[in-house]
A and B are shown apart, each in its own frame.
Chain A
């Protein structure tokens, strides 16, 4: 199985790696939304942290990923796409777009699903911390 050039590029030069602090540091920060999805025993865990301003715009995004090259590339790509977008715009990103952009084979589709989940999960965390009731509360569960 050969990887696409874009996957290799994200793997070798991942964009926006890092965090805005440890899980404890960011737990009380209302401008940060944290999403951690996946599980170690499944072989992939993605952590996405978003810094969101008062206007609901994602000013910065940082990721960390334990997973295969496609999982790393999917989360790296997700951070690139959501930076500068509003929360509502970010929620329109679908895993199928990630599959297409990275030319992921069928066995790697779950990596893209995880990336979409991490965006939703981080935004939900931000909204919860700020008492915002999401407009599309029903949509979040439909990813699988």
Chain B
């Protein structure tokens, strides 16, 4: 099959909406356009039917009951609602006081978890920030050591979005249930790709997003456990009391219908997709690390999802590499891809070194990635890395046997 350019390998950023999800959405724009909260006419009933069918699909994807699904605008909102909503509901003392309760999270979470936790710190809550080891995996043991009598919430992502490492979520969930602590997980890179069962895995609150699993953008969900324990949240948005009072606001009916369809499709094809993507990712990593010197896969060797590969190519700067492989849409942990001069805080916090963080490439594949595209990516990256190394003064130093990290650089 002929390659079509540019090649999309940034599925951890967002995925293409599955055309079948788009098709399911279309009637809800122009025919069944009612407000799902309108109780008195068929337009409202049709919209509500669409919403409730979607809720069933979302619930069955994660082993929940449909009453436990709260629609949101995406993972950022779900994370905010879960973290701030829990802390404020279960606070041990009123606003304006100190020691209002203890929260545990980790430094390589997404900003949508870090920033709500920082806000809660300013509001009088105590936060423990766990730094995982260089393999990136947060374990039950790390949480066990941090739990205190006043801990009210643990928030640990299921999969890290930059390096694809899988944390010990079921184990942490069990620990939290034993200790009577509420457990939230940002499962944005997990749900829809990997089998999920919130009962078995002891999860109380779980965020995920439609557009990371082949649904439309602007829709997400928060799983809120209703039994043992029943989790209560203080709403962030006040208004019409939609979604059991936890999230007011007219529902994005077409978006939710598309999200529901995407959940249904993931249920059907998850096993096959996972096997296929795992094979492609293995090939990508194996070929690049064997063809190129000083190329390392970041994160734990085995505990990683099949769709994210994060590889550092020593002595080559990430943005210049992206420029050299402009036919491949992917991302880098290099500072130059952001407005700041700081490289990826995830790689930095794992202690792999700023230099390797600047040299990293994240390739994330998805439902429509083909083997021919993987083959193209391998040869394009190999060629570009070799070209950039002919330009790199650091490569020369490395080849002369000089340890670049031992040089005293004149920082600016």
Instruction: Count chain B CB atoms within 10 A of each CB in A19, A44, A117 and give the residue with the most.
Output: A44
The chain B residue sitting closest to A143, CB to CB, is B412
Contacts A38-B412, A41-B354, A41-B355 given; does A24 touch B317 at CB 8 Å: no
Which residues of chain A from 28 to 47 have a CB within 8 Å of any chain B CB? 36-47
Query: Across the interface, which residues of A come within 8 angstroms of B318, CB to CB?
Result: 43
Is there an interface contact between B316 and A113, defined as CB atoms closer than 8 Å?
no
Chain B 364-407 interface 0/1 with A at a Cβ cutoff of 8 Å (1 = within): 00000000000000000000000000111111110010101100
Distance between Cα atoms of A144 and B412 in the complex (Å) = 9
Asked whether, in the complex, the Cβ of B319 is within 8 Å of the Cβ of A65, the reply is no
Do residues B341 and A110 form an inter-chain contact, with CB atoms below 8 A?
yes
Asked if B37 CB lies within 8 Å of chain A CBs, one says no
Asked if residues A69 and B320 are in contact (CB atoms below 8 Å), the reply is yes
**B5 proximity list for chain A (CB < 8 A):** none
* A43 adjacent to B335 (CB under 8 Å): yes
**Closest residue of chain B to A46, judged by CB?**
B393
Known: A68-B334, A110-B341. A40 touches B323 (CB 8 A): no
Q: Which residues of B contact A19 (CB under 8 A)?
A: 396
**B412-A66 in contact (CB<8A):** no
Contact residues in B for A47 (Cβ distance below 8 Å): 393
Instruction: Evaluate contact between B335 and A11: CB separation under 8 angstroms.
Output: no
The residue that B335 contacts in the complex, of A3, A24, A42, A113, with Cβ under 8 A, is A42
A69 near B412 with CB under 8 A, answer no
| Interface: A56 (CB within 8 A) | no
Q: What band does the interface of chain A fall in when counting residues whose beta carbon is under 8 Å from B?
A: 35 or more
Residue in A41, A42, A66, A110 whose CB lies within 8 Å of B316: A66
Q: Identify which of B336, B339, B358, B412 contacts A40 (C-beta below 8 A).
A: B358
Which of A24, A69, A70 has the most CB atoms of chain B within a 10 A radius of its CB? A69
**Residue B258 at the chain A interface, CB threshold 8 Å:** no
Is the pair A114, B412 in contact by a Cβ cutoff of 8 Å? yes
Interfacial chain A residues near B339, Cβ < 8 Å: 107
CB neighbours (8 Å) of B354 from chain A are 40-43
A64 at the B interface (CB under 8 A) = yes
Measured in the bound complex, the distance between the Cα atoms of B341 and A46 in whole Å is: 16
Assess A42 versus B412: contact at CB under 8 Å? Given A17-B391, A22-B396, A23-B400: yes
A66 touches B315 (CB 8 A): yes
Instruction: Tell me the complex Cα distance, A70–B319, Å.
Output: 10
B136 close to chain A: CB less than 8 A: no
Q: Shortest CB–CB separation between residue B391 and chain A, in angstroms?
A: 6
Complex CA gap A38/B402 in Å reads 17
Residues of A within 8 A of B (CB): 3, 8, 11, 14, 17, 19, 22-24, 36-47, 64-72, 107, 110, 113-114, 117, 144
Could you give 13 example pairs across A and B, Cβ below 8 Å? A3-B323, A14-B391, A19-B396, A23-B400, A24-B400, A39-B410, A39-B411, A40-B355, A67-B317, A67-B336, A68-B319, A72-B320, A114-B412
